[in-house]
Chain A
Amino acid sequence: MKLSESIKKKNRAALLLMLLSLVLAAVVLSLPAYKFTSSVYTKKSANTFVGDEKYAEVRAEVDAVAEEYRASGLDVEVSESVTERTNSKGKTTSMVAFSVDQTFVKNGWSFLGAGIGSAWVLMGLLLCLALSAACALAGTAGSMDEPYRTLDGRSASFRSASYYLALIAMVLVPVFFMVNTVLMSRRVDLYCDGLLTEGKEELFARLDAFLFGGQGGEDLEDMLKGLSFQNTGAMWLLLLCSAAMIAGGIQLRRGAITHTVVRGLLYAFVIALCVFILYPYYVMLVTGFRSIAETNDSDFLHLLPVKWQWGNLKHIIDRGVLRYLGNSLLIAGGATVLALLCGIPAAYAMARMRFKGKNVFLGFVIVSQMFSPVVLLIGISQLMSAMHMYDSIWGLMFINAAFNQAFAIWLLRGTFVSISPEMEQAAKIDGCNTVGSLVRVLIPMAAPGIVTTLIFVFINAWNEYTISTVLISTASKRPITVGITQFSSFNMIEWQNLFAASLLATIPVVILFMCIEKHLTSGLTSGGVKG
């Protein structure tokens, strides 16, 4: 009885919280908090002093423009700024900049019905908030003293819906803000530059109606170009409302906030991590398919290419990228196989056998890695030319395998050591020899470690650059890392080709990883494993 009383109290508080946030949201939307500024006209004049002839001339011109706007019913203001300098000859120079500005203050409700992008988002936001509160009411009606767990289907779905709607509302708040800025300034730029023509007239008409009361007329493009949006804290208040809604939703749904918050944080962390990691790949993707002019022009401010240049892909393939990819696959694949073939027996001996010089060998292995390949270039190239492996893919396979021996042996040894030798001993008693027990027992059990090693060696070999640069002289034998230098040198960077090729170069490794990922996570099951 007491328990249900406290639940009732909690549910009531949650409901109250949601309704209050709904009211607050309504109040926030009534505030005149959304400020748009538009520089409808700007004029600069170099070598002009306040009060001189040129100044009067330009001033008159600007005033006339302002007057015109006023006549059409807009409330504009003229501002001027003067920059005075003393030049190298000791003479004073002056520059005057005039600007005709208009400021519009809007409240949230005035967006509704404006038909522009942010209006739709705002409507969705409001709808979600209202529905969330409504669902909360419906979900608690008649079950105020019951926790979510014991609820029947209908009430439970209502409470769930309430929670998820509040969540959507929360996401929509920054979207609203973003659409306002993106649509109102950046995309208008693109429309004005004629880069996006679809629906241009329609959008302009709606913006005109919303901002200038339909007074924009022929100057509309200029007026829109100077548009900027300023949010005076209203977004934070709206966000607060949505957060309160979610809190109420959680309370109604789970009864315990901690669990939801922990899960929420977990997902938030993972999503943030993924976004962060994917960001450079997003950059490669969009830059790789932009036009040349777009890649290095600061005026082209948009998130996706104006027009996807799939031709870039054909261009880089024409310049041999597929061939380079093939070479890389061959080199990295060969090096991986070789490194494992040599590394597994060595690691096994290190983990399972007692012999003199074990530590010496371990030290030798690690020391052999302590020179950067950059440093060893000279020696390696002499060696390769003595062994007739100059300019040969075989040579690179061996080099890569050798340079990854230490990593392979260390990683594999660690894995082997952590696996109890009991199973192998059992296999030996069953008549297996050492090789047999290694192949049949240890390797399957050490799969995660071997897979890690395999990925490691493959990726290292795939990414090797310096040695290949020097060793390979025939263009058709180059691996991808060297191949793409034709798109990037200090004297010519073709960002779009470089990134398109880079993206292609990443794909095989990701596919490889996806194929063997499950071995990373499965592997060691039960028994025979020492903790």
Chain B
Amino acid sequence: MNRTLQKKMKPYIWLLPSIVLMAVFVIFPILIVFRLAFSEVSKAGIVGGFVGFKNFRDAIGLPAFKTVMLNTFFWVISVVGLSTVFGFIIAMVLNQKFHGRKIARAILVLPWATSLVIQASVWNYIIKYEYGNLNNVLLNLGIIKEAINWRSSYQIEFIWECGVGIFVTIPFVTFCVLSGLQSIDSTLYEAADIDGASYWDKLWRITVPLVKPSLTVSTVLNIIYVFNSFPIVYTMTKGAPANKTDTLVTYLYMLNYYNRQKGPATALSVIGFLVLCVCAGIYMMGVMRKEEDL
């Protein structure tokens, strides 16, 4: 009896440290956010009574709500999508044998190894019109004749932000794919060679399906990570002009600490959470169902 109980309990014991850690340090703060979302919160952040869905109504009624949501979708889809594509291609290249592969891999880790605040500051400096380094270098190399304003409109600024987002996300995808590629048995390729398979056959029939689990993990994590990414947009434009380059997280941060609409800001974060849950949920379900089909 005791033994079966022990056996039943065993998996939970293995999970316990992880659960405790997360429950205390992640779930508890999340609960507080939920409480705030349904409470009246003063401008200085003092929590008042329960107000139902008032904060949510206020949040959805904000004039910038639609822009910010659309921006957020564009931001997540472009950054996650493109960095997955590029990351996969780069991983395929770095999986080849060539001189200097080790150095190339070490270099690739750099964008990831630098904090986003720094990365955003550097790119901010690079694309400055007046004394930015990009103009400086291009002028010096004789590629352009006069300085170019790299941030001539907010649309372009937002694209730059996405570009920096992609730049810093690629290494993670690449290393996830690389570790997936590493675990593919080389005998599979040898067998395919004997069968006379072409390069593309091998890519689609062997590589992609076997790398897919790592890609799924990296994509799900990236969706969450990129959705919640804060420093790039905050450092480069602070959402200017007029929230047109804001994503949800930067917008609600500004709303919270600059405009001091703390109630709606918290409600907005809960809305973001729900959106993310739904999106990531749909993606995961889609992928897992397919995996089961296979």
Residues in A lying within 8 Å of B, measured CB to CB: 177-178, 180-182, 186, 229, 263, 266-267, 269-270, 273-274, 277-281, 283-284, 286-287, 295-298, 300-303, 338, 341-343, 345-346, 348-350, 353-355, 358, 361, 364-376, 378-380, 382-383, 398-399, 401-403, 405-407, 409-411, 414-415, 417-419, 448-449, 452, 455-456, 459, 462-463, 465-466, 480-481, 484-485, 488, 495, 498-499, 502, 505-506, 509-510, 513-514, 517, 520-521, 523-524, 529, 531
Residue of B nearest to A377 (CB): B29
User: Which residues does chain A contribute within 8 Å of B30, judged by CB atoms?
Assistant: 368, 371, 376, 379
Q: Is B156 an interface residue (CB 8 A)?
A: no
Query: Judging by beta carbons under 8 Å apart, are A298 and B273 in contact?
Result: no
Q: B217 touches which one: A355, A411, A499 (CB < 8 A)?
A: A411
Q: Is B214 an interface residue (CB 8 A)?
A: yes
- Encoded as 1 (CB less than 8 Å from any A CB) or 0, chain B from 236 to 273 comes to 00000000000001001100000000000010010011
Given A283-B133, A418-B213, A524-B182, do A378 and B32 touch, yes or no (CB 8 Å)? yes
Query: Judging by beta carbons under 8 Å apart, are B117 and A481 in contact?
Result: yes
Query: Judging by beta carbons under 8 Å apart, are B33 and A371 in contact?
Result: yes
A281–B113 Cα distance when bound, in Å, is 12
14 new A-B contacts, CB < 8 A, other than A181-B142, A366-B280, A370-B280, are A266-B93, A267-B98, A345-B15, A346-B18, A353-B14, A372-B272, A398-B24, A401-B21, A410-B221, A418-B213, A448-B179, A495-B125, A502-B122, A529-B183
User: Which residues does chain B contribute within 8 Å of A401, judged by CB atoms?
Assistant: 21, 25
A43–B28 Cα distance when bound, in Å, is 72
Residue of A nearest to B176 (CB): A452
Residues in B lying within 8 Å of A, measured CB to CB: 8, 10-12, 14-15, 17-19, 21-22, 24-33, 36, 45, 90, 93-94, 96, 98, 100, 102-119, 121-123, 125-126, 130-131, 133, 136-137, 139-142, 147, 167, 172, 175-176, 178-179, 182-185, 188, 210, 213-214, 217, 220-221, 224, 227-231, 249, 252-253, 266, 269, 272-273, 276-277, 280, 284
Interface of B, secondary structure class, is helix
Residue of A nearest to B235 (CB): A488
User: Which residues does chain B contribute within 8 Å of A455, judged by CB atoms?
Assistant: 109, 175
Query: Judging by beta carbons under 8 Å apart, are B113 and A509 in contact?
Result: yes
Query: Judging by beta carbons under 8 Å apart, are A402 and B22 in contact?
Result: yes
A283–B229 Cα distance when bound, in Å, is 24
A418–B215 Cα distance when bound, in Å, is 13
A498–B235 Cα distance when bound, in Å, is 14
User: Which residues does chain B contribute within 8 Å of A374, judged by CB atoms?
Assistant: 228, 230, 249, 252-253
A343–B104 Cα distance when bound, in Å, is 30
Of the A-B pairs whose beta carbons lie under 8 Å apart in the complex, a sample of 17, sorted by A's number, is A270-B98, A273-B90, A274-B104, A277-B108, A277-B167, A303-B136, A346-B17, A375-B228, A378-B29, A379-B31, A383-B28, A398-B24, A399-B25, A410-B221, A456-B172, A459-B112, A466-B230
Residue of B nearest to A357 (CB): B12
A333–B142 Cα distance when bound, in Å, is 46
Q: A523 touches which one: B100, B102, B182 (CB < 8 A)?
A: B182
Given A283-B133, A295-B131, A531-B184, do A372 and B28 touch, yes or no (CB 8 Å)? no
Given A278-B110, A345-B18, do A448 and B33 touch, yes or no (CB 8 Å)? no
User: Which 4 A/B pairs are nearest by Cβ-Cβ distance?
Assistant: A379-B29, A379-B32, A372-B228, A181-B142
User: Which residues does chain A contribute within 8 Å of B227, judged by CB atoms?
Assistant: 370, 372
Tell me the minimal C-beta distance from A14 to chain B in angstroms: 26
User: Which residues does chain B contribute within 8 Å of A277, judged by CB atoms?
Assistant: 107-108, 110-111, 167
Q: B106 touches which one: A298, A364, A517 (CB < 8 A)?
A: A517
Query: Judging by beta carbons under 8 Å apart, are A378 and B33 in contact?
Result: yes
Query: Judging by beta carbons under 8 Å apart, are B122 and A499 in contact?
Result: yes
A95–B115 Cα distance when bound, in Å, is 51
Tell me the minimal C-beta distance from B119 to chain A in angstroms: 7
User: Which residues does chain A contribute within 8 Å of B10, judged by CB atoms?
Assistant: 353
Residue of A nearest to B131 (CB): A298
Tell me the minimal C-beta distance from B258 to chain A in angstroms: 12
A463–B230 Cα distance when bound, in Å, is 12
Given A498-B121, A502-B114, do A349 and B11 touch, yes or no (CB 8 Å)? yes
Query: Judging by beta carbons under 8 Å apart, are B142 and A178 in contact?
Result: yes
Tell me the minimal C-beta distance from A95 to chain B in angstroms: 21
Residue of A nearest to B9 (CB): A355
Q: B15 touches which one: A349, A406, A448 (CB < 8 A)?
A: A349
Q: B131 touches which one: A267, A296, A452 (CB < 8 A)?
A: A296
User: Which residues does chain B contribute within 8 Å of A485, judged by CB atoms?
Assistant: 117
Query: Judging by beta carbons under 8 Å apart, are A398 and B25 in contact?
Result: yes
Q: B114 touches which one: A369, A379, A398, A505 (CB < 8 A)?
A: A505
Query: Judging by beta carbons under 8 Å apart, are B269 and A481 in contact?
Result: no
Residue of A nearest to B126 (CB): A283
A354–B10 Cα distance when bound, in Å, is 10
Residue of B nearest to A343 (CB): B18
Query: Judging by beta carbons under 8 Å apart, are A407 and B221 in contact?
Result: yes
Residue of A nearest to B110 (CB): A277
Residue of A nearest to B234 (CB): A374
Among A346, A368, A401, max chain B CB count under 10 A is at A346
A473–B15 Cα distance when bound, in Å, is 34
A144–B101 Cα distance when bound, in Å, is 37
Query: Judging by beta carbons under 8 Å apart, are B140 and A368 in contact?
Result: no
Query: Judging by beta carbons under 8 Å apart, are A520 and B175 in contact?
Result: yes
Residue of A nearest to B213 (CB): A414
A218–B53 Cα distance when bound, in Å, is 81
Query: Judging by beta carbons under 8 Å apart, are B115 and A463 in contact?
Result: yes
A342–B13 Cα distance when bound, in Å, is 11
Query: Judging by beta carbons under 8 Å apart, are B33 and A376 in contact?
Result: yes
Q: A375 touches which one: B33, B90, B131 (CB < 8 A)?
A: B33
User: Which residues does chain A contribute within 8 Å of B133, judged by CB atoms?
Assistant: 283, 286-287
Given A281-B110, A375-B33, do A270 and B14 touch, yes or no (CB 8 Å)? no
Residue of A nearest to B128 (CB): A296
User: Which residues does chain B contribute within 8 Å of A417, judged by CB atoms?
Assistant: 213
User: Which residues does chain B contribute within 8 Å of A302, judged by CB atoms?
Assistant: 136, 140
User: Which residues does chain B contribute within 8 Å of A279, judged by CB atoms?
Assistant: 126
User: Which residues does chain A contribute within 8 Å of B109, judged by CB atoms?
Assistant: 455, 509-510, 513
Residue of A nearest to B119 (CB): A280
A401–B17 Cα distance when bound, in Å, is 11
Tell me the minimal C-beta distance from A47 to chain B in angstroms: 27
Tell me the minimal C-beta distance from B35 to chain A in angstroms: 9
Q: B122 touches which one: A181, A284, A341 (CB < 8 A)?
A: A284
Query: Judging by beta carbons under 8 Å apart, are A510 and B110 in contact?
Result: yes
Tell me the minimal C-beta distance from B269 to chain A in angstroms: 4
User: Which residues does chain A contribute within 8 Å of B102, judged by CB atoms?
Assistant: 517
Query: Judging by beta carbons under 8 Å apart, are A370 and B276 in contact?
Result: yes
Query: Judging by beta carbons under 8 Å apart, are B182 and A520 in contact?
Result: yes
A466–B253 Cα distance when bound, in Å, is 11
Query: Judging by beta carbons under 8 Å apart, are A273 and B104 in contact?
Result: yes
User: Which residues does chain B contribute within 8 Å of A402, judged by CB atoms?
Assistant: 21-22, 24-26
